[in-house]
A = this chain, B = another copy of it.
Amino acid sequence: MKHWLSKILFFLFIALHTAQADPLPSWNAGAAKEAIVEFVEKTTRQGSPDFVPEPERIAVFDNDGTLWPENPMPFQLAFTIDELKRRLPDETNWNDDPTVTAALSGDLPTLMADNYKGLFHIIELVASGLTTEDFAERVRAWFSTARHPRFERPYDQLAYQPMLEVLTHLRANGFKTFIVSGGGSEFMRTFTEKTYGIPPEQVVGSTTRVVYELRDEGPVLVKTMDGLFIDDRSGKPAGIQQFIGRRPIAAFGNSDGDLQMLEYTTISNPRPSLGMIVHHTDSGREYAYDSNPKSTGKLVQTLADASKRGWIVIDMKNDWATIFGP
């Protein structure tokens, strides 16, 4: 018994040691990388004063601007505009909709005004009346053909490699990773599992009501424009409570839409906690913006609060050796 047990332990040791050599190879050495590695170490090591039981290891991630780009516009908006164009010949009443006109003429400020009111309106418009399956089918079709205008890749191949490593490192250490994003839940669920390894039930997003119908071909859920829940700003802690029901111990965001999620995760949390902000500082490899973004992603208050709150700012240009995967 002793002989084979020692062999197993030896191989386990080698395996673990190899895997843990550098869990974040796309990160340059620095405070941000250290903060992640140390947080995971101290919350998962048995006997550590900061040990957190596995069920409480909840980590939440904003999506647009945190796990992948949100320029030149959020990818769901790019999808929505393409859908408006594709369906406009059949949906003649859309011609009278000023929000549609704004979208088709690329008038982002109008769509973003009043807490993204116009943006959510057109997002709902291209989904309303569809079954959730038909909607997901259209999203998948779009991802399979559309290309990002600058990076010339399918949009779902633009996840930030350093953030994929964070997701993997957290999960390898018993963390459950969730998306908590202003994006539409059903839009995001078409790619989160493949792109981030995050299953649909760990996606918290903006939603409208769906209505159940038992049709001849089987049961369906039909998307409506009613009961909009916007999972942004104060909506993020509310969404976390409604969907997860447990306070996260780690939160990653990149904009003022993530302020309250970072507060909720880190202020007066009886558990040790980690708040991190992806700061877009790399116009060469990605984009550089904070106070004056071209679309979404304004980062002013959250950045101003960072030192007071102990949130770690990730400087994309200096902290990330690689931006996108191969």
Q: Which A residues fall within an 8 A CB radius of B? A: 3-4, 7-8, 55, 58, 132, 176, 178, 185-186, 189, 193, 199-203, 207, 209-212, 214, 217-219, 221, 227, 234-235, 237-238, 241-246, 260, 263-264, 267-269
**Distance, CA A1 to CA B199, complexed state (A):** 37
Contacts of A58 in B (CB 8 A): 201
- Nearest B residue to A259 via CB reads B214
Given A214-B267, A221-B237, A268-B219, residue A244 in contact with residue B200 (CB < 8 A):
yes
Given A55-B193, A212-B238, A238-B221, residue A245 in contact with residue B200 (CB < 8 A):
yes
Closest-CB distance, A215 to chain B (whole angstroms) = 9
Partner of A238, one of B193, B210, B237: B210
Task: State whether B186 touches A219 (Cβ < 8 A).
Answer: no
Task: State whether B263 touches A219 (Cβ < 8 A).
Answer: yes
Contacts of A227 in B (CB 8 A): 227
**Distance, CA A201 to CA B244, complexed state (A):** 4
**Distance, CA A235 to CA B203, complexed state (A):** 20
**Distance, CA A218 to CA B207, complexed state (A):** 28
Closest-CB distance, A100 to chain B (whole angstroms) = 27
Task: State whether A200 touches B238 (Cβ < 8 A).
Answer: no
Contacts of A234 in B (CB 8 A): 211-212
Contacts of A238 in B (CB 8 A): 209-212, 221
Task: State whether A219 touches B264 (Cβ < 8 A).
Answer: yes
> Other CB < 8 Å A-B pairs besides A201-B244, A201-B246, 4 of them?
A55-B193, A212-B234, A212-B237, A214-B260
How many of these chains are in the complex? Answer: 2
**Distance, CA A209 to CA B227, complexed state (A):** 11
Task: State whether B201 touches A263 (Cβ < 8 A).
Answer: no
Task: State whether B203 touches A245 (Cβ < 8 A).
Answer: yes
- Nearest B residue to A221 via CB reads B241
Task: State whether B268 touches A217 (Cβ < 8 A).
Answer: yes
Closest-CB distance, A217 to chain B (whole angstroms) = 6
Contacts of A263 in B (CB 8 A): 214, 219
- Nearest B residue to A227 via CB reads B227
Closest-CB distance, A292 to chain B (whole angstroms) = 26
Task: State whether B185 touches A260 (Cβ < 8 A).
Answer: no
**Distance, CA A185 to CA B239, complexed state (A):** 13
Closest-CB distance, A205 to chain B (whole angstroms) = 10
Given A4-B7, A8-B8, A260-B212, residue A267 in contact with residue B199 (CB < 8 A):
no
Q: List 13 A-B contacts (CB under 8 A).
A: A4-B4, A4-B8, A185-B245, A201-B246, A203-B245, A207-B242, A211-B238, A214-B263, A218-B267, A218-B269, A219-B263, A221-B237, A221-B241
Closest-CB distance, A140 to chain B (whole angstroms) = 14
Partner of A199, one of B210, B221, B235, B246: B246
Contacts of A245 in B (CB 8 A): 185-186, 189, 200-201, 203
